Structure 1
Amino acid sequence: MSKVSRSKPARIPQVAVLVDTSRSYGRDIVRGIRRYVAEHGPWSLYLEPRDLHSRFPDWLKDWPGDGILSRTVDAAMLRQLKATKLPVIELRTTVLPHSFPFVGMDNSIVGTRVAEHLRNRGFQRFACYIDTAEAFFVERSEYFVQTLRAHGFECSVFKSSRRLRWDEHQRALSEWLTSLEKPVGVFAVNDQLGFWLLDAARRAGIAVPEEVAVVGAENDNMLCETASPPLSSLRLRGQAVGYEAARLLDEWMAGRRVPKPGEKHLLVPGDIVVRQSSDIVAVEDPRIAAALRFIRQHATEQIDVTRVARETALSRSVLERRMKALIGRSPGEEINRIRFAAVEKLLTQTDLTLDAIAARCGFTHPQYMAEAFRKRSGLTPGEFRRQRAVV
């Protein structure tokens, strides 16, 4: 009886995923990696639960694998990664001396987007709460401050101190918040700091968002929803980071493309998920505040400036003049800003057609919406959706 010949199975790439899974951003990165592998694998993945300070697994020193995706903790871990001689994609640090390709968020856009969110809410006083332990926290704060200064605003900065006990730190944070002239919009450079900031405000008897509006970054649902009040936060696209990192590593392992030493792939972050901590319009003129609230609540219902003027008992000319003086935008511009923000959200978070999006966002003609969107953003709706989608 003749033997049946069997072809040798193709070798499956072995990849170690050294990504902290204690926060939602890291878990989203893993989800993005998983999606890439599902579409382009198979891979054999080494993955285990890790925290922000987990070290390099000793057994990887002599591991005959093919590549590593890493959020590197410190210089010691960096040396161990280099010693493997394997392709490594870095997902955390851009300041440790290494030549690994880096994939992450564009922190210039993170800082700028939060600044614009608070400005669009009418704030004219600003502050920032930072932790200098991570370079990307500092980058976010620097671009936040730069954006505000470009518009003529100053920004008070509070630096978190890890030398203080928890109660001492919260007392110092409460004193800083109390000292700020109000109303004030505050950027906490990640959601952990945002959570602490809201606790400090509550200890000091400061009303949020009426006196202090707070926005975090990373949109960690556990922290944001547990905070009191719930914390607004800029959504980082961790799944997109994981997917892009896996794609780069796959090309490198297969020899299709070797990345340049130290090349950076910076992705555009998502939108701000507005929760109670910043859901307010900070305008001292009560009529204009009412107009802004009405626009925010009804902009997608095909309202016009005449309707806004009627709702606020102002003439159209007075409404136009006073709103322009207070927030730098006319009522019509504010209506369009809210509408196009809704378009962006639906493009990135749903699979709705342009016709459906136009109907939901107050546009009668989808073609007009698409052309106006292109003029505002420099991208067609389809291009914007591909660039900003979660993955």
Structure 2
Amino acid sequence: MSEKLEEHSIPCVLADNEAIAQIALEHFQERGYAHLGYSGGRHRDRDQRGVCFQRAAEAVGLSVHCYDRTIWESPGEDRTAVSRAGRARWLESLPHPIGILCWSDLAARTLAEACASSDLRMPEDVAILGVDNDVLICEMTRPSLSSIELSTERIGFESARLLDSLMGGEWSPHAAPDKPIPRILPAGVVARASTDHFAVSDPDIVRAVRYIREYSVDGIGVEAVAEHAGLSRRSLERHFKRHLGCTPLQVISRVRLERICRLLSDSDVPLARIAEAGGFQSVRHLHRFFRQQTGSTPTSYRRLHRFE
């Protein structure tokens, strides 16, 4: 949904750009990217998604290189070719390796084509993350595109609810100008080949993170990760802080949460089975972990993200 609707006080339901930005940042951080970029839509001044991504990156001491078409594109008849050439020049000017968030999957595909037209490799030099999880675009691009999946069914449901309330006269945007616009949380990242790379040269970190991604649902702790990586716990934590800017426990929690959220939003699996599959001793332990990480409960999250 476009922020242009919000600018004109038109009732609308929007994706939560702050949450999208945070998810993208964590996805790149987990893979060790110290350089970040953003490729937005046509109206750069209205691109709140990019603004949120810059703000999230700055909060952890990182900066974002943003694509500016007025600098990199030359006038031409074929807008697609001009856009691709401009992005190729921009990509070549950036520090590498770099992780780039795109406004949408369509923008991500254009950037992937620009990358292919240069000597840059994806994902080794440029890791690309889209938004929307348009399966056709993501799977037909080579290499396939990772993407943040929006809760589109929930957005549609809330939009219908909003329209119904307007038609029923329950409230008016003119009578209640301060009524908050619903912001719908994204479902999470669907990881594919375009971000399947670690931007760190430390093989111990790569080994540790791959182990976490494979076995986090077994309830592993930091000691098990350190043992697998062949490091002491203290040394492992130093390596993570230096290369990823976070602790091993934070990565473990992030991966576990990601998988729990996917089960809650995409299935009807009972909480007891999710707790068991996630390595928790009981549903109570699952509740405590989920509330610590999100400020919500698993039941509330499922109710918000499942379309019924």
Q: State whether TM-score is above 0.5.
A: yes
CA distances 1:168-218 after superposition (whole Å, capped 9, x unpaired): 332222222122111110011111110011111122132222221110111
- Describe the shift of the 1:390–1:328 C-alpha distance in structure 2 as closer, same or farther (beyond 3 A): farther
- Asked if 1:333 is matched to 2:250, the reply is yes
Q: 1:173 aligns with which of 87, 91, 95?
A: 87
- Offset at residue 127 of structure 1 (A): 0.8
- Asked whether the 8 Å contact 2:37–2:66 carries over to 1, the reply is yes
How has the CA–CA distance of structure 1 residues 179 and 360 changed in structure 2, closer, same or farther, with 3 Å as cutoff?
A: same
Q: Which moved more, 1:207-216 or 1:159-168?
A: 159-168
| Structure 1 match to 2:197 | 280
Structure 1 residue corresponding to 2:260, chosen from 324, 343, 355: 343
Cα separation, 1, equivalents of 2:29 and 2:285: 28
Give the drift of 1:147.
1.0
The one of 127, 133, 140 equivalent to 1:213 is 127
**Aligned match of 2:12:** 102
Structure 2 residue 294 is the aligned partner of structure 1 residue 382: no
Describe the SS at the equivalent of 1:250.
helix
Percentage of matched positions with identical amino acids: 30
Indicate yes or no: 2:72 matched with 1:159.
no
User: Take 1:314 and 1:204, find their aligned partners in 2: how far apart are those partners?
Assistant: 39
Other-structure match for 1:198: 112
Q: Indicate the structure whose relative CO is greater, using CA pairs within 8 Å and at least 6 residues apart.
A: 2
1:135, CA displacement in angstroms?
Answer: 6.7
Q: How does 1:93-172 map to 2 (within 5 A)?
A: 93-95=3-5, 98-133=8-43, 138-160=47-69, 163-164=75-76, 165=78, 166-172=80-86
Is the CA contact 1:115–1:147 (under 8 Å) kept in the aligned structure 2?
yes
Relative to structure 1, the CA distance from residue 252 to residue 175 in structure 2 (aligned partners, 3 Å threshold; closer, same or farther) is closer
**Could you say which residue in structure 2 is the equivalent of 1:258?**
171
Q: TM-score, normalised by structure 2?
A: 0.88
1:300–1:99 distance in 2 versus 1, CA, 3 Å: closer
Instruction: State the TM-score, normalized to the length of structure 1.
Output: 0.71
**Partners in 2 of 1:93 and 1:335 — Cα distance?**
35
Q: Is the 8 A contact 1:132 1:159 kept in 2?
A: no
Deviation of 1:129 after TM superposition, in Å, equals: 0.9
Residues of 1 paired with 2:201 and 2:145: CA distance? 23
Structure 1 position 310, deviation (Å): 2.6
Cα shift readout 1:33-79 (whole Å, capped 9, x = no counterpart): xxxxxxxxxxxxxxxxxxxxxxxxxxxxxxxxxxxxxxxxxxxxxxx
Q: CA RMSD in A?
A: 2.2
Q: d(CA) in 2 for partners of 1:135 and 1:242?
A: 26
Bigger radius of gyration, 1 or 2? Answer: 1
Q: What letter is aligned with 1:197?
A: L
Change (3 A) 1:216 1:280: same
Q: Residue 75 of structure 2 contacts residue 82 of structure 2 at CA under 8 Å; is this kept in 1?
A: no
Could you tell me how far apart the structure 2 residues matched to 1:162 and 1:239 are?
A: 39
Give the Cα separation in 2 of the matches to 1:321 and 1:271: 28
The alpha carbon displacement at 1:246 in A equals 1.4
Amino acid in the other structure paired with 1:130? G
Q: 2:162 aligns to what? A: 248
Unaligned 5+ segments in structure 2 are none
> How far off is 1:93 after superposition?
4.8
1:22 aligns with none
For the Cα contact (< 8 Å) 1:339–1:362, is it kept in 2?
A: no
Q: How does 1:32-51 map to 2 (within 5 A)?
A: none
Q: Distance in 2 between matches of 1:230 and 1:199?
A: 12
Structure 1 position 108, deviation (Å): 2.6
User: Matches of 1:306 and 1:150 in 2, distance apart?
Assistant: 29
After superposition, the Cα gap between the structure-2 partners of 1:308 and 1:152, relative to the gap in structure 1 and judged at 3 Å, is same
